[in-house]
Structure 1
Amino acid sequence: MSVTSVTHLNFRGDARAALEFYRSVFGGDLAVVTYQDAGNVHDPAEADHVMWGQVVAGNGFRVMAYDVPARMPWERGENSFFVSLRGETTQEITAYWEKLCAGASIVRPLATAQWAPLYGMLQDRYGIVWVVDVAAGHQG
């Protein structure tokens, strides 16, 4: 038996753009269902907003997202969650880092850390904080 944890990101009208951006960084397949597609339109202005969407890549990356309807409370928040991106090689992580940096604010530059060969943190152009590192074995 196994369980999978997938980060689910909540937006207000930016979900499609964010998912397309993440697909451009990590590759993979994008699936989007709008409120119109699902026959669940409460506000005509939101018919093309994302009711459910995801990016699934062969390299193991997976993220889900949707646009919170205006009738529901939502705030972008600050430090309410991080997306952790962990890879096996410095080359792999550096390539993702460079792509995620487009329009981002660097919280901590990608560099060697006491606990990892590479570690960095950034807030992407959609306000999502990414913690990026190269996996290292626990040394006790």
Structure 2
Amino acid sequence: MPVTTTTHLNFRGDARQALDFYQSVFGGHTVAVTYKDAGTTQHENEADWVMWGEVAGDNGFHVMAYDVPSHLPWNQGENPFFVSVRGDDADEISALWQTLSEGSTVVRPLEAAQWAPLYGMLTDRFGVTWVLDVTAPYNG
């Protein structure tokens, strides 16, 4: 089964502007789901922030982005990105998670999420934060 990696950029309130900029540079299409869209708004002033977004082009360009909500720590100089690993086979993603998680700090366990059959986040022993998930059809 194919597995892809994508740079996942982290912002605090600027993700939509960044996605629009990258789309203007590289082409493709932009998808952005806000915290309000997902029903997960914790602070009204963050309702229109991007909970999940991407720019994907026919030329192969792909970048993901989101706005780190204020209740989570964020420092542009320390955690400006994640590496996202996506696949459509739960067993394969689970096996990758099992190996990658050795010596890591689990930020969010690999489990079902509102937006994916499996989703998890960890910071490996080298300080790189990885997001692994199983793709689900977009029904926006």
What TM-score results when the alignment is normalised by the length of structure 1? Answer: 0.55
CA contact (8 A) 2:11 2:80 kept: no
Aligned partner of 2:89 in structure 1 is none
Following the alignment from structure 2 to structure 1, what is the Cα–Cα distance between the partners of residues 80 and 67? 17
Following the alignment from structure 2 to structure 1, what is the Cα–Cα distance between the partners of residues 6 and 37? 23
CA contact (8 A) 2:10 2:79 kept: no
Following the alignment from structure 1 to structure 2, what is the Cα–Cα distance between the partners of residues 16 and 73? 20
Task: Provide Cα deviations, 1:33-90, integer angstroms capped at 9, x if missing partner.
Answer: 0000001000001000000000000000000000000010000016976x9xxxxxxx
In structure 1, runs of 5+ residues without a counterpart are 84-140
1:68 aligned partner, one-letter code: V
2:74 aligned partner, one-letter code: W
Following the alignment from structure 1 to structure 2, what is the Cα–Cα distance between the partners of residues 56 and 71? 29
* Alignment CA distance shift 1:80-1:67 (3 Å): closer
Identical columns (%): 65
Report runs of 4+ in structure 1 exceeding 4 Å deviation: 78-81
Aligned length: 83
Offset at residue 2 of structure 1 (A): 2.4
Following the alignment from structure 2 to structure 1, what is the Cα–Cα distance between the partners of residues 66 and 41? 14
Aligned partner of 2:76 in structure 1 is 76
Aligned partner of 2:57 in structure 1 is 57
CA contact (8 A) 2:10 2:80 kept: no
In structure 2, runs of 5+ residues without a counterpart are 84-140
Following the alignment from structure 1 to structure 2, what is the Cα–Cα distance between the partners of residues 52 and 80? 15
Structure of greater Rg: 1
Following the alignment from structure 1 to structure 2, what is the Cα–Cα distance between the partners of residues 17 and 45? 16
Following the alignment from structure 1 to structure 2, what is the Cα–Cα distance between the partners of residues 43 and 56? 29
Following the alignment from structure 2 to structure 1, what is the Cα–Cα distance between the partners of residues 5 and 39? 28
Offset at residue 3 of structure 1 (A): 1.6
1:28 aligns with 2:28: yes
Following the alignment from structure 1 to structure 2, what is the Cα–Cα distance between the partners of residues 48 and 31? 14
Aligned partner of 2:19 in structure 1 is 19
2:13 aligned partner, one-letter code: G
Following the alignment from structure 1 to structure 2, what is the Cα–Cα distance between the partners of residues 80 and 63? 13
